Amino acid sequence: MDLEDFYIKNMVCQRCVKAVELAFKARDIDPLEIGLGLVKCQGPVSGSLRAKLSLDLSVLGFELLDDARAANVERIKKVVLERVHHSPGLGMKVNWSILVSSALGQDYKQLSNLFSAVEGMTLEQYIIRQKVERIKELLFYDQMNINEISYHLDYSSVQHLSAQFKKITGQTPTQFKSSRSAHASRRFLDDVG
C-alpha cells in the first residue's frame, strides 16, 4: 500500500485537525493518519483531486504545501507548537536543537538556516514568540501564576520570562494581565511570527 503525505500549513490545534479531516473526507479521501501539519492517505491522489483539495483547504485558511522546503518548515513549527502549547507539563529544560533535529532526523544548523530563509526570522525568535503567546493565554485565563508559568515554559527565572515578554509585547506580564486589552492583544497561533 502506497502512502501519500500531505503537508498542510496553518494547522495549529485540534479544531484545525478536525476541519482538515472533514475537507479530505468531503473529497472521498480517507485519511489514515492525521496530525498537526501532516495527513497520510492511501495514494496516489490524482493531480486534479489534489488541486480541488488545495482549494477547499485554502477556503478554510490552510495551505497545501508542494514545496519540500516549506513542508520542512511546517514540520519544525509543529515540533515547536506541540512542545510549547500542547505538552501537559514541561518543567524540564529543553534543548531545542536536539529536539528539532531528532524530530526531523536532520542537522539542526541546516534546519535553522532553512527556517530563517523561508520565514524571515530565526527559529529562536519563532520559539520565543510562541512562548509569549502561551504566556498570554495562561495569564488571560488565570491558569497559572507567573512563577508556575516560568517553570512550565522552561525559563531560567521569572525575570528572564518578564524581559522576553516585555521585549515582544511592550508590557510586563503584570501589566498585560491587569490591562483591559489583554484579549485584544492575543494572536492566532498561525499568525505568530
pLDDT at site 43: 79
What integer pLDDT is reported at residue 184 of this predicted model? Answer: 54
82 and 166 belong to one structural domain: yes
pLDDT in the model for residue 178: 84
Identify the domain boundary among 50, 66, 82: 66
56: containing domain: 3-66
The span from the CA of 138 to the CA of 81, in Å, is 15
Q: Are residues 61 and 74 in the same domain?
A: no
CATH number of the domain where residue 185 is located: 1.10.10.60
Note the pLDDT of residue 68.
81
Q: Mark whether 77 and 52 lie in a shared domain.
A: no
146, amino acid identity: I
End position of a domain, from candidates 20, 41, 66:
66
57 and 129, same domain (yes or no): no
Q: What does the alpha-carbon distance between residue 88 and residue 84 come to, in Å, rounded to a whole number?
A: 9
What's 52's domain CATH number? 3.30.70.100
pLDDT at residue 123, as a whole number: 97
Please state, in angstroms and rounded to a whole number, the distance separating the CA atoms of residues 90 and 151: 8
Q: Which residue has the cell 511592550?
A: 170
Nine cell digits for residue 18: 478536525
Counting the structural domains of the chain, the total is 2
Mean pLDDT for each 10-residue chunk of the chain (193 residues)?
A: 86 91 95 91 89 95 87 93 80 86 95 93 96 92 90 92 96 86 59 62
Considering the domain architecture, whether residues 83 and 174 belong to the same structural domain is answered as: yes
Domain ends where: 44, 66, 88? Answer: 66
DSSP class per residue in 105-164: TS-HHHHHHHHHHHHSS-HHHHHHHHHHHHHHHHHHTT-S-HHHHHHHTT-S-HHHHHHH
